[in-house]
Amino acid sequence: MQCLGAEYEVPAERTPRPRAWRPQLYRKCTDAAWLVLFFLFWTGLVFIMGYSVTAGAAGRLLFGYDSFGNMCGKKNSPVDGAPLSGQDMTLKKHVFFMNSCDVAAQGRRLASTALCVSSCPEEQLDTLEEIQLFANTSGSFLCVYSLNFFNYTQSPNAGALCPRLPVPPSKSFPLFNRCIPQTPECYSLFASVLINDVDTLHRILSGIMSGRGTILGLCLLALALALAMLFTFRFITTLLVHIFISLVILGLLFVCGVLWWLYYDYTNDPSIELDTERENMKYVLGFAVVATVITAVLLILIYGIRKRIKWTVELFHVTHRALGASPFLLFQPLWTFTILLFFWVLWVAVLLSLGTAGTAQVIDGGQVEYKPLWGIRYMWWYHLIGLVWTSEFILACQQMIIAGTVATCYFNRNKNDPPDHPILSSLSILFCYHQGTVAKGSFLITVTRIPRMVFMYMCNTLKEKQSTWSRAASRGCCSCGCWCLSRYLLRLNQHAYATTAINGTDFCTSAKDALKILSKNSSHFMSVNCFGDFIIFLGKVLVVCYTVFGGLMAFNYNRVLQVWTVPLLLVAFFAYLVAHSFLSVFGTVLDTLLLCFAVDLETNDGSAEKPYFMDQEFLSFVKRTQKFSNSTSQQNKDSLRNQEGTELRPIGT
């Protein structure tokens, strides 16, 4: 976190005459103020973590709780003023509602008394004698704790303290570990009241927890697909590219077809009554429209690059030779993924605790109700910003390390004697000098999300004053504009990180210098590099498509009692970040090689006094790309000439 030295300088005998670009020669702390800001922001996150641990109770969401302040399956502490609280419920892991079919439960509140029981009654109980027998044989007491089961048939208060007869058969369900009635009339009523009674945040959290096994499996699928794509790009050939593109097209069509089929199935289902089902139907329609548009755009782009596949494959071969100098770069995403996974698990744990933070208040009858604490919603937004900023910071650190490693190997005169431990050297330089630059760049990506959130909030606020088509058009334009801005900033950040790794300058100076020098040399193989980036992007699309396809198949089997569209979005987000972490190695290497090539042309002329750093294989590839560009358009040849004194000379052998 601290700068270990104010400035590092190589020995004087290796220092060339002063020039604008000084690759790998000078280092100093860059953007230190942003590092301090990032540290202060994380101080706030640590406070929220501590607050969520002390004030939250994620166990209430995971295990369920009764009406008297007891968490099922746990040993509880007493609540002041609630005589039936503080009981040992270790063996009572299920939540049973005494009047799940009662007419009083038809309101939008779940007025039925909840109890912790050891098992749910799987058969209908018609009399108090049967309830007493069930308690005696199973140890599951269905009346209020204050009434001993020996007195179920004798107490005059049994009618008020025991469930209304008949007690329908029920079965435990993962959602809050509740006993769900199995008779059709009770099931429909109970599920409607239960789910509609819970607010949106809790429905989302419950959907995540009830589908946690499926989410974990889909995350592992995304990891496996990302690893497969990593090794596919490592040994890529022309035939393999065609097979890969065919799989991408097939995955896109599969996802679109399944989404539209699900929407058709929802719209023709007459039994849809729950809020979760209506929300799922609305989100499925949105997913289907977005997926169709993305598929159409990608198919057009794929058709446009069909003649450039040969050059893209050769460009990947150049990348493989660069990776050959530091083969352990391919394992760099594993460390990034491990750190991201640890952070995401921590983030979800804090989110669950925030969602259950509340104070116990005793109401009529000695029952306990939990009131949400003030300020929780604001903490949730702060926590969300922390997720985006920290994730982007971790990914940016990976980009900086890869760029520094490639630059160290490129600007090495003796290609037969590569530098020792370039990855560790790049990592130490990052932590000693350039963490502030990474924090600043990742913050810019985070900021692009805020205008979109504000605009979406305005659209929801004014939705009654807008027609459906105008609202959809405004949202589409907003999403498209924010996406374009985000893509531009991602590209700008990547060039800035590479320039910082090469020249040791701050973020703004690096971004300006990178744009300037790349604009001078855009005609060499910039277009081919863009096609390479597009192939890498298709690799990420393939990972996301097949992960989402698996998620659609898995979540659709449990669509009623969870908002499965939100877990599906989380899985898609996770799949993209994992694919980005692994496949961005190739994209970062490509962009860094392009920038190193431009710097090489800027500082050297190929003469004996100032030879190029690039090797003969790279020279041969550049010559072929120049010939390809010149044969494609005469204007590309004219663009090789720039301002006075900076004309780019033809590269000789």
Rounded Cα distance between 217 and 220, Å, is 5
**DSSP state, 431?**
I
Residues 6+ apart with CB under 8 A from 453: none
Chain segment 307-358, per-residue pLDDT in tens: 667 666 777 777 777 777 777 887 888 888 889 889 988 888 888 788 777 7
Average pLDDT over residues 433-455: 83
How confident is the model at residue 436, as a pLDDT?
93
Q: 3-class DSSP state for residue 461?
A: helix
**Mean pLDDT comparison of 204-218, 318-332, 437-451, highest-scoring range:** 437-451
Are the CB atoms for 223 and 337 separated by under 8 Å?
yes
Tokens of 486: 């985000």
Per-residue pLDDT tens over the stretch 118-149 = 999 988 898 999 999 999 888 899 999 989 88
Could you tell me which residue, 28 or 631, shows the higher pLDDT? 28
For strands 26-28 and 114-117, give the pairing: unpaired
Give percent of the chain with pLDDT exceeding 70.
71
Task: Return the pLDDT at 118.
Answer: 92
Percent above pLDDT 90 for the chain? 11
d(CA 389, CA 614): 36
Q: Which amino acid is located at 218 in the chain?
A: L
- The 10 Å CB-count burial string (b at 16+, else e) for 260-290 is bebbeebeeeeeeebebbebbbebbbebbbe
pLDDT at 163 over 80: yes
In the predicted structure, residue 272 carries a pLDDT above the cut 80:
no
Neighbours of 411 (CB within 10 A): 18
- SS3 readout for 318-350: HHHHHHHHCHHHHHHHHHHHHHHHHHHHHHHHH
For the cut 80, the answer to whether the pLDDT of residue 190 exceeds it is no
What is the C-alpha to C-alpha distance for residues 570 and 547, in angstroms, rounded to an integer? 11
Please say whether the dihedral angle defined by the alpha carbons of residues 372, 375, 377 and 382, taken in this order, is positive or negative: negative
Distance CA 67, CA 65 (A): 7
Q: Which residue has the higher pLDDT, 42 or 408?
A: 42
Q: What is the pLDDT of residue 275?
A: 56
Across-strand partners of 179? Answer: 172
Which segment, 209-213, 361-365, 417-421, is predicted with the most confidence on average?
361-365
* Nearest-5° Cα angle at 576, 571 to 578: 95
Other Cβ atoms closer than 10 A to 324: 11
Structural tokens at position 313? 């494959």
More confident residue, 105 or 575: 575
* Close Cβ partners of 652 (under 8 Å, ≥ 6 residues apart): 606
Q: What is residue 360's three-state secondary structure?
A: strand
Q: Which residue has the higher pLDDT, 407 or 207?
A: 407
3-state secondary structure 164-217: CCCECCEEEECHHHEEEECCHHHHHHHHHHHHHHCCHHHHHHHHHHHCHHHHHH
Which of 179-183, 280-284, 485-489, 539-543 is predicted least confidently?
A: 280-284
* pLDDT higher than threshold 50 for residue 646: no
Q: Considering Cα of 543, then 245, then 324, then 28, what sign does the dihedral take?
A: negative
Give me the mean pLDDT over the 26-32 stretch.
84
Instruction: Check residue 467 and give its pLDDT.
Output: 57
pLDDT in tens, 4-15: 444 444 444 444
Q: Could you give the residue ranges of the DSSP H alpha helices within 462-564?
A: 468-503, 507-520, 526-555
Mean pLDDT of 154-160: 85
Identify the pLDDT of residue 650: 45
pLDDT (0 to 100) of residue 407: 86
Q: What is the mean pLDDT of residues 548-553?
A: 80
pLDDT at 295 exceeding the cut of 70: yes
Q: How high is the pLDDT of residue 185?
A: 63
The more confident residue out of 649 and 460 is 460
pLDDT for the residue 40:
95
Is residue 652 predicted with pLDDT exceeding 70? Answer: no
Per-residue pLDDT, 415? 65
Quick one: pLDDT at residue 458? 64
* Residue 168 confidence class, pLDDT cut points 50, 70, 90: confident
The pLDDT-based confidence of 457 (bands split at 50, 70, 90) is: low
Mean pLDDT, rounded, of the chain = 76
Q: Sort strands 170-173 and 26-28 into parallel, antiparallel or unpaired.
A: unpaired
Confidence category of residue 476, pLDDT binned at 50, 70, 90: low
